[in-house]
Amino acid sequence: MQPISNPSCDHAISAQGISKAYRLAKRQTTPDTLVGAIQAIAKAPLRNFQYLRSLGRAHHAAKLNDEDLYWALQDVSFDVPAGEVVGVIGRNGAGKSTLLKILSRITQPTSGEATIRGRVSSLLEVGTGFHPELTGRENVYMNGTILGMTKREIDRKFDQIVDFAGVDRFLDTPIKRYSSGMQVRLAFSVAAHLDPDILIIDEVLAVGDAEFQKRCIGKMQEVAGGGRTVMFVSHNMSAIGQLCTSGLLLSKGRVASQGDLGVVVQSYMDDLFSTESKVGNEETTIIVQTAIDGDESERMWRYGSMVRVRVEVDTQLVIANPAIDLYFNSSAGRMIFAQSDRFVKHFDSDSNRWVFEFQLRNNGFVSDYMTIDVGFRYCSSTRYLGLWQSVAAIALGEVPAGHTHGRDCPIAVPCEVQLMEAAA
């Protein structure tokens, strides 16, 4: 077991050999065409029979065959001293959320043990921890009570919680009528204000506007400054850099790097800058390759050059009209632009594999790097069947002569400055 930092400190969190296996059960999916629907109906009895048989076969992970299991975490060990702010990073599917769920006691590890010293407050997914039928006010009190606070303690914090979340007008509205942004704001506010010893926050910055994100970072800094322990998951390396004092990098369910934040972030970035990235979920695998001006080993997208982003999709879903969206984000974690394959194609074959190619010319992006997110969906729907963040990264070049560009913004514009004598 390796400590994230000073081993002589008291550990707020100690993870010893944590592994978590999920049993693979294929999700039922909705086909996007009539033909697909008919095919799915025809195949359903066999699929259901296989599924029921697998359920009956074993109740314990140990009794299952390896191919029935998916190991979301494998032998994960680390210690977090009290007062440390740990940035948990890794590609989609690396096991970050599963780890946080185990530390928050929402799910049990298949093997290994997590020892937690202190009261834990966590924000894991939108909607978790809230009862949809109860109002915002009732949910705040319910959460406080679950954390072991008295009504008077919650009363004292109540106004701060509501102020931070900005939901005062909706306090007596059931949570189910809140937008996902409002739910996250309130959930974050509750988690951060209820004086936890350990605050566990999963990717809250993905939801909400820039202003809210800034306030979240500020609030977490305040909690950390008060000597509390924080574990924070994010794909935004700028937010991780601002907030965290150490890092934990997960890769395919294992600890790939831990300790010094700079070293851990660098090792994550090295992986993103690799020429080919493969990610996926239970049904779909995507391989993303980039090339600059036709050169697959080039990683620098200079002003004027062309990037080709090639996305190869391999899915088990019944789907005739697939679509891919690409999102390009600045190193500060802001989405700069997005692109869809906007031509609706109909594939008559039964193929489950497609290649999407995007060509983009750099007409003004400079300085630092961009990360690329990939979303996969039916072309007729905005709901993603898979959304993978920071699948790849490309470096940006220097600001060309005669251009100007702003801080935290990778866009350069041509600029001429003239100095003239004012008329008398």
Ligand X SMILES: Nc1ncnc2c1ncn2[C@@H]1O[C@H](COP(=O)(O)OP(=O)(O)OP(=O)(O)O)[C@@H](O)[C@H]1O
Residues that bind ligand X (CB under 6 A): 22, 70, 72, 90, 92-98, 281-282
Could you tell me the smallest distance in angstroms from the CB atom of residue 202 to ligand X? 7
> Judged by CB, which is closer to ligand X: 51, or 347?
51
Q: Do the Cβ atoms of 8 and 263 come closer than 8 Å? A: no
Residue (of 208, 215, 220) closest to 85 by Cα position: 220
> Judged by CB, which is closer to ligand X: 69, or 142?
69
> Judged by CB, which is closer to ligand X: 98, or 290?
98
* Helix/strand/coil for 142: helix
Could you tell me the smallest distance in angstroms from the CB atom of residue 97 to ligand X? 3
> Judged by CB, which is closer to ligand X: 92, or 331?
92
Could you tell me the smallest distance in angstroms from the CB atom of residue 117 to ligand X? 24
> Judged by CB, which is closer to ligand X: 94, or 190?
94
140-157: burial string, b at 16+ Cβ within 10 Å, e else: bbbbbeebebeeeebeeb
> Judged by CB, which is closer to ligand X: 94, or 184?
94
* Helix/strand/coil for 309: strand
Beta strands in 105-208 (DSSP E): 111-116, 120-123, 198-202
Q: Do the Cβ atoms of 310 and 288 come closer than 8 Å? A: yes
> Judged by CB, which is closer to ligand X: 23, or 156?
23
Sign of CA dihedral 122, 123, 124, 127: positive
Overall residue count recorded for the chain in this entry? 424
Burial of 288 (0-12, 13-18, 19+ CB in 10 A): buried
Helices vs. strands in the chain: H and E counts, helices first: 8, 20
> Judged by CB, which is closer to ligand X: 88, or 194?
88
Strand order in the sheet with 284-292: 276-280, 284-292, 306-315, 353-361
Residue 205 CB contacts under 8 Å (≥ 6 apart), including other chains: 213, 216, 217, 234, 236, 239, 333
Identity of the residue numbered 177: R
Could you tell me the smallest distance in angstroms from the CB atom of residue 357 to ligand X? 25
- Phi, psi of 271, rounded to the nearest 5 degrees: -70, -40
Could you tell me the smallest distance in angstroms from the CB atom of residue 93 to ligand X? 4
Residue 284 CB contacts under 8 Å (≥ 6 apart), including other chains: 313, 314, 315, 316, 317, 376, 385, 386
Could you tell me the smallest distance in angstroms from the CB atom of residue 28 to ligand X? 14
> Judged by CB, which is closer to ligand X: 135, or 281?
281
